[in-house]
Amino acid sequence: MMAYDAMNDVDDDVLMVLYANGDQEAARALTYRHAPRVLVLSRRMLRDMAEAEDVAQEAMLRLWKIAPNWRQGEAKVSTWLYRVASNLCMDRLRKKSGTNLDDIPEPADDKPSVEATMLSKDRVTALEQAMQQLPVRQKLAVTLRHIDELSNPQIAQIMDISVEAVESLTARGKRTLAGLLLGQKEKLGLE
């Protein structure tokens, strides 16, 4: 078995093969490389650390299960994990809301509740509050694009939509966020 440090530069596909053959150091390398990012994404989507940990663990468990059948070169491990985690998050949000995500109407700009909360919140909290106003798919697209800094083609793979659809979702999301946040810049110390 290779030591964990020696695996820092090893490709994800190779790590998957090693893990499928029982190498736990490969699993450790994959865990440290991907689990934190999956957890952060889940937390941003769900805004609940316990739920986010559940989702991230479920996504990682699915990765361990699929390892023996992993087809090298077909998908990136990170993209695959983001996709699984995104779907799990959307399922949970769907159950919470009890409505079809596609049926959720676009929010009106300048929601007073966001303005009110921004008085006592810092920028991150204000952003999170504003993100909650977005439809889930817009929220996911904006998060992946502007916080996780993934490329549009990567996001398209994760969300199983076209690159154009990703661009549309992020543009609409940012327009809504701008409407909710930029009017409050002074209060947030951004002027």
Partner 1 sequence: MMEKKPDISPDQQLAAFFDAAKAKNGKVNAAFLENVMALAVGETEVRAKPPIAPVATAPAFTKLIRSLGGWKSVTALTACTCIGIVAGYVAPNSLDYLDLGGAQTIAETFDDDGFSVASDIETLFQEG
| Interface contacts to partner 1, rule CB under 8 A | 19, 22, 24, 27-28, 30-32, 35-36, 39-40, 44, 53, 56-57, 60-61, 64-65, 67-68, 122-124, 126-128, 146-147, 149, 174-175, 177-178, 181-182, 185, 190
Q: Which CB sits closer to partner 1, 40 or 75?
A: 40
From the CB of 47, what's the least distance to partner 1, in Å?
12
C-beta of 31 vs 87, nearer to partner 1: 31
**Ramachandran bin of 111, using left for φ above 0, alpha for ψ from -120 to 50, beta for the remaining angles:** beta
Q: Count the neighbouring beta carbons within 10 Å of the beta carbon of residue 64.
A: 14
For the bound state, the minimum distance from the C-beta of residue 61 to partner 1, rounded and expressed in Å, comes to: 5
The pairs formed by 175-179 with CB atoms below 8 angstroms and a separation of 24 or more are 176/106, 176/107, 176/109, 176/130, 176/133, 176/134, 176/138, 177/127, 177/130, 177/131, 177/134, 177/142, 179/109, 179/110
Task: Tell the smallest beta-carbon distance from residue 74 to partner 1 (Å).
Answer: 21
Distance of alpha carbon 96 from the chain centroid: 18
CB of 151 to partner 1, least distance (A): 16
Minimum CB distance to partner 1 smaller for 6 or for 171:
171
Closest CA to 82 of 103, 59, 58, 49: 59
Least CB distance to partner 1 at residue 88 (A): 15
Which is nearer to partner 1, 103 or 149 (by Cβ)?
A: 149
Return the number of the residue (116 or 147) whose C-beta is nearest partner 1: 147
CB of 99 to partner 1, least distance (A): 26
In this complex, which beta carbon is closest to partner 1, that of residue 35 or of residue 101? Answer: 35
Identify the helix (H) or strand (E) that includes residue 31: helix 24-46
Residue 47: phi and psi, rounded to 5, are 55, 35
